[in-house]
Amino acid sequence: MSGKHVHFAPDAYPGTPSPSFSVSSLPSSTGPFTPPTHYQSLVPTLPAGSIQVHPFLRLSPVPMVDYDISLRAETARPRDHRISAAQWQHILTQPATEPALPYMEIRSPSLPWCIAIYPSSKGSLVVTVADVLYGIYASLRTGVTRDEYALNPQLQPYVDAAYRHRCKNLADPVAIDTESKKGVKRIDFCLENNSFVGLSSTKQGGHVWQMALSR
């Protein structure tokens, strides 16, 4: 990566999104995300507080899951080392909320976007713990366009620094060059606050959750 130049994704959504998640590109100022019509009738009309998030996703001073959101979701692990690999795989398949939801919307003060997560299993109407972890990672790997980058000029130097740091941390020069050319990504707006701390409820409905991050 030469100099201090940053690159951007083309205006079109880059690449082919995974079928296991769906991402909204709406700025948070536009209000609540509206799910596709076939999901609208399935969303419970329960207020925030009546829906509980899974303990492994819940905001906590000591999160139950160790997850660096800049890394693939497969790297997420339970902090309790007594939990076996088989038990962890079972946890990942459990509903992300109680009662279960057909979609969830995740917001963060760090991001001018919201993340909408849907069930990965065909025909399923239940978002799982794994869907949330994979959806967060996939969303934050989305490239940032010039217009999105310009949303907050005061933040740009910090986003640039996070972008350069992320690329330079890769294993070899070829990987660094390849990743640098892909441009700024949404993960860079987290300003290296990449540790998942958990989700907390909001006043915007039982399906809307706020994500807390830390270094």
Does residue 45 sit within a domain?
Answer: no
pTM over 0.85: no
By the 8 A CB rule, do 91 and 78 touch?
A: yes
Domain assignment of residue 69, given as a range: 52-214
Q: Where are the alpha helices (DSSP H) in 33-155?
A: 37-40, 85-92, 129-140, 146-149
Does residue 208 sit within a domain?
Answer: yes
Does residue 20 sit within a domain?
Answer: no
Q: pLDDT digits over 100-127, tens only?
A: 999 999 999 889 889 989 999 888 899 9
Is residue 205 very low, low, confident or very high in pLDDT (cuts 50, 70, 90)? Answer: confident
Does residue 136 sit within a domain?
Answer: yes
Q: How many domains does the chain have?
A: 1
Does residue 31 sit within a domain?
Answer: no
Measure the CA–CA gap between 143 and 186, rounded to whole angstroms.
6
Residue 136 pLDDT > 70: yes
Averaged pLDDT, 172-188: 90
Does residue 147 sit within a domain?
Answer: yes
Does residue 146 sit within a domain?
Answer: yes
Alpha-carbon distances of 64 from 1, 54, 55, 82, 137, rounded to whole Å: 37, 10, 7, 12, 18
Averaged pLDDT, 13-39: 37
Does residue 170 sit within a domain?
Answer: yes
